[in-house]
Chain A
């Protein structure tokens, strides 16, 4: 326990002698009087002496206690751990206040947003004191210091602090601490000012669990002030909203909405999805601290880019911003195929014939929705032949020329889908050449090799299928029945690469060789089917056509299933080849009027060798952004809130002060622990003082009676 005014204690001790002094000073001068009955006076005094001595002791004790209690009350005792950073500490100091403005600070508790409490607390650290220099770092996805260096312009800091608002971002703790380290770094060897860091945040578990304060300068006084309520407020959120076109053609889409319940009890909510002018409503029940996924196949009325949103209807929770999530889906027109093969089209049956039949079914051809497919001889596979294709299929191409390899890699990077059916030893050479040409942008999970010489090709069976992958997910429980009995002939052997991503192997044979491999390469995707379609019963299986359709659809729509763009974090998107030149495009937001010249307000569109690239260093608002050429939407992207911001669970104080503090002295102050409450004990001493005085009066009255 410390005292705000310790001098009052010394005065109190001195004042404790006050009752005695008052007694001596105010003692009445006795009147002298001769008395014959002095013996009776003495007897009366003897009789009253014990009673009066007790009364005097009680009165003296109460009076002294009252004075001491008054002195302690004036001294303002403060209990509990004392803050490391306060205005009471003298000397030069460099103070940096790190203010978390991530989306979670918009959460309200008893009607007050956490950011309001954060601003109030931060303002206490920007009061002028001789020798104090300070700065404010507004921490979101990127740290934003108010001044480049610490300053004494506290008025400006307070003004900037008052303007701080919650950003729809998550906080990058590492970047923020690095900025703080730069600000706190001593300017010279003579700079021995005390270093102080005040972190004001809700200390969300998702953001702060990996915080590392070790890089801060030695001796930095670390004060963590939480503005999160003692118990996380209940919150419901849409943490993921995705729509994927089903297959490579048609207007069907698969809608997946993931609802997170960050509440101590299970809750039921209504998800309302608006997409392409249509609306769907579904009830979802979510267990406590769990997520639930609403998945549904929907049919959209029009092709092209469809925008919409998913909303939690009628939900009132702590964080309203995460109850809505934008949604984008593209229903592509029937794709254009180029089949590079040495096999003539008239050769039937052949592997290329099976492929042609699977990619362009007769039913689709009759309905007019059939994609276009062109057979190209490997020797004629130049840019003019391949560029119009959305999907390039290679089957029995033989040894490809280097120019063709380079062209394939280039098209792959620009977003083309390449399906390589590896059936003969030359394909191993081609795949290796592709990998070499692709370099770091094309890193296949396995390395293909021809089967050893002299070993007769034997039939192989599937040993593993990634049934959870979207390509196989559409088959559901029938997958086992469909894959049992499949025999594969031809093909290559494969060997896994240590640094590769194993999840890219969607199916493998019993001998461990990969059967189906999916590898991303910048905007495009390479699929390798390791089998000779002329020597397998897969082509006769009901699995073949839908599998190929899903595979192609997945490859074409890969962009949409990739990681969503989040507010405050860099957005880099490669536009489809058909989008045209950057000069003809502009970026719009359907629900906003601010359209910048060439999309400057929403980032920049740049022409690159692989096409137009959209770069936006820090998207500011969640929503759907469209790239238009005239009135035609050529690309759309949804910018959303990071889902981590919806989980309002915060880190326990022990974790922050012991595990993450890297051995530094840390003071932690919770939101419920108001600083003024530490200073309230003086009221109790004032009450004790009053009670002592009342007790004295009562004692005097009691003994008098």
Chain B
């Protein structure tokens, strides 16, 4: 497949090193088409998996007649179906994701830019595996929802949307997730990329648990900027909130320790909520190249 890059966030030369990697799932999924991923269905086709004693309700076509003849007992043959992947990339586009950007409207260096590179690459990798990939942009609500598809057009459309992403001041994540859940009828994999600097952290993970109840595989990618982990050196700073929180004048040296404790508590809380909701948690630092992050992520999932 010849894919010409249509966005600056897609660097095919850099992604060439990841050509051999595929985005794998750790549980069986439901797909529309047959593919490389294990399906929740165990039909008569596919790779043989096991025998099971005939219970009287199964399709007689799956009965292993040779075993019946040899042993006099009825067994049915179990085969693992393989289907394609439906993956939804949910991107948090709230104001806090702009952190790290320089002045003006540029997002260079921000967490959102990092997410743009990462999601573009992910969409490319997933689509290259003939899997369906969709995009959901979240701020205070579900701003954009591109349903999963595997067509090149869909992917390009999605990458364009990613490239045009911008932040909006919002401190709510749960409403967008709930709305996305309502619009997602089929099971799949949900990759949520967010810094989780929201007021409704518990509600957001409650929404993620809805996906898990519907047997979605939820992967939480916690995006952290290194400058968020510690306050800058200096005598006096006027910190301006990115989500309409006002300004705070202070001397960072006086609160550095307390801030560090508070931020560590926030990281721990997000991780705890994620693991408690049976979500996969991965902390993503923007200090690490997105390619390294993506490679590690794919290798780890490939098992």
Identify the A interface with B (CB < 8 A): 27-45, 47-48, 52
Listed stretches B32-40, B68-76, B137-145, B256-264; interface member: B256-264
Report the separation of the CA atoms of residues A64 and B249 in the bound assembly, to the nearest whole angstrom: 25
Q: Are B255 and A45 in contact, CB atoms less than 8 angstroms apart?
A: yes
CB-CB < 8 A to A33: which residues of B?
A: 232, 237-240
A28: B residues at CB distance < 8 A: 235-236
What residue in chain A is nearest B256 (Cβ atoms)? A44
Q: Is B242 an interface residue (CB 8 A)?
A: yes
- B259 close to A36 (CB less than 8 A): no
Taking a contact as CB atoms under 8 Å apart, the answer to whether B258 and A48 are in contact is: yes
Return the CB mask of B238-254 against A: 1 if under 8 Å, else 0: 11111101101110001
- Give Cα distance in the complex from A34 to B197, angstroms: 14
> Which residue of B234, B241, B258, B261 is within 8 Å of A31 (Cβ)?
B234
B259: chain A residues within 8 A (beta carbon): 37, 40-41, 44
- B135-171 vs A, CB cutoff 8 Å, 1 = contact: the mask equals 0000000000000000000000000000000000000
Query: What are 27 A-B interface contacts by the 8 Å CB criterion?
Result: A28-B236, A30-B236, A31-B232, A33-B240, A34-B98, A34-B99, A35-B239, A35-B240, A35-B241, A36-B97, A36-B98, A36-B225, A36-B228, A37-B228, A37-B266, A38-B239, A38-B241, A40-B263, A41-B255, A42-B248, A43-B258, A44-B258, A44-B259, A44-B262, A45-B248, A45-B250, A48-B255
Q: Do the beta carbons of A36 and B99 come within 8 Å of each other?
A: yes
Interfacial chain B residues near A27, Cβ < 8 Å: 236
Number of residues on chain B facing chain A (CB within 8 A) = 35
**Given A31-B234, A34-B98 in contact, is the A41-B254 Cβ separation under 8 Å?**
no
Contacts of B197 in A (CB 8 A): 36-37, 39
Per the bound structure, the CA–CA distance linking A32 and B254 in Å amounts to 17
**Contact partner of A41 among B96, B98, B234, B250, CB < 8 A?**
B250
Top-10 shortest CB links A-B: A44-B258, A36-B96, A36-B99, A44-B255, A30-B238, A40-B262, A28-B236, A30-B236, A35-B239, A38-B241
Chain B nearest Cβ from A22, distance in angstroms: 15
Rounded to whole angstroms, the CA-CA distance of A42 and B240 in the bound complex is 11
Check: B81 CB closer than 8 A to any chain A CB: no
Give the interface SS of chain B, mostly helix, strand, loop or mixed.
mixed
Q: A587 CA to B75 CA in the complex, in Å?
A: 168
Q: Mark B82-124, 1 if CB is under 8 A from A, else 0.
A: 0000000000000111110000000000010000000000000
What's the Cα separation between A29 and B262 when bound, in Å?
A: 26
Q: Is the CB of B262 within 8 A of A31?
A: no
CA–CA, A52 and B251, complex, Å? 11
- The residue that B254 contacts in the complex, of A36, A39, A52, with Cβ under 8 A, is A52
Not counting A31-B237, A35-B99, a sample of 5 additional A-B residue pairs whose C-beta atoms are within 8 angstroms of each other reads: A35-B242, A36-B99, A36-B197, A37-B96, A38-B248
Interface contact A37-B254, CB-CB below 8 Å:
no
Which residues of the partner chain A approach B254 to less than 8 Å between Cβ atoms?
48, 52
Given the interface pairs A35-B239, A36-B228, A40-B263, the reply to whether A30 lies near B249 with Cβ below 8 Å is yes
Determine the chain A residues whose CB is within 8 A of the CB of B266 once the complex forms: 37, 40
B258: which of A30, A37, A47 is its contact (CB, 8 Å)?
Answer: A47
Q: Does B195 contact A (CB under 8 A)?
A: yes
- In the complex, A31 Cα to B249 Cα: how many Å? 9
Distance in angstroms between the alpha carbons of A27 and B258 in the assembled complex:
23
Pair A32/B240 contact, Cβ less than 8 Å = yes
Shortest CB distance A32–B (Å): 5
Smallest beta-carbon distance A111→chain B, Å: 63
Mask, B198-238, CB within 8 Å of A = 1, is: 00000000000000000000000000010010011011111
Instruction: Write out the residue numbers on chain B whose beta carbons fall within 8 Å of the beta carbon of A35.
Output: 99, 239-242
A498 to B241, CA, bound (A): 117
Nearest CB on A from B169, distance (A): 11
CA of A42 to CA of B255, assembled, Å: 9
Q: Is the CB of B239 within 8 A of A41?
A: yes
Min CB gap A393→B, angstroms: 119
Given the known inter-chain contacts A44-B262, A45-B250, A45-B255, please indicate yes or no for A31 contacting B195, CB distance below 8 A.
Answer: no
- The distance from the CB of A408 to the nearest CB of chain B, in whole angstroms, is 117
In this complex, the member of B97, B111, B236 whose beta carbon has the largest number of chain A beta carbons within 10 angstroms is B236
Q: Which residues on the B side are within 8 Å of A38 (C-beta)? A: 239-242, 245-246, 248
Please give, as numbers and ranges, the residues of chain B lying within 8 Å of A44 by CB-CB distance.
255, 258-259, 261-262
Report chain A residues within 8 Å CB of B225.
36
- Which partner residue on chain B sits nearest A47 by CB separation? B258
Shortest CB-to-CB span from A46 to chain B, Å, is 9
Are A30 and B245 also in contact (CB < 8 A) when A36-B195, A47-B258 are? no
Most chain A Cβ neighbours within 10 Å, of B99, B232, B238, B258: B258
Cβ–Cβ contact A34 & B250, under 8 A: no
A377 to B157, CA, bound (A): 177
- Check if B99 sits within 8 Å of A30, measured CB to CB: no
Determine the chain A residues whose CB is within 8 A of the CB of B241 once the complex forms: 34-35, 38
A615→B16 CA distance, assembly (Å):
141
Nearest residue (CB) in B for A37 is B228
In the bound complex, CA of A39 to CA of B248 (Å): 10
Q: How far is the CB of A383 from chain B (nearest CB, A)?
A: 121
Which residue on B lies nearest to A38, using beta carbons? B241
Tell me how far the C-beta of B242 lies from the nearest C-beta in chain A, rounded to whole angstroms.
5
Report the bound CA distance from A39 to B95 in whole Å. 13
Residues of A within 8 A of B248 (CB): 38, 41-42, 45
Quick one: which of A31, A35, A47 has the most chain B CB within 10 A? Answer: A35
Q: Is the CB of A34 within 8 A of B258?
A: no
Min C-beta distance of A135 to chain B, whole Å? 70
CA–CA, A29 to B239, complex, Å? 13
Q: How far is the CA of A29 from the CA of B251 in the complex (A)?
A: 11
> Which chain A positions have C-beta within 8 A of B262?
40, 43-44
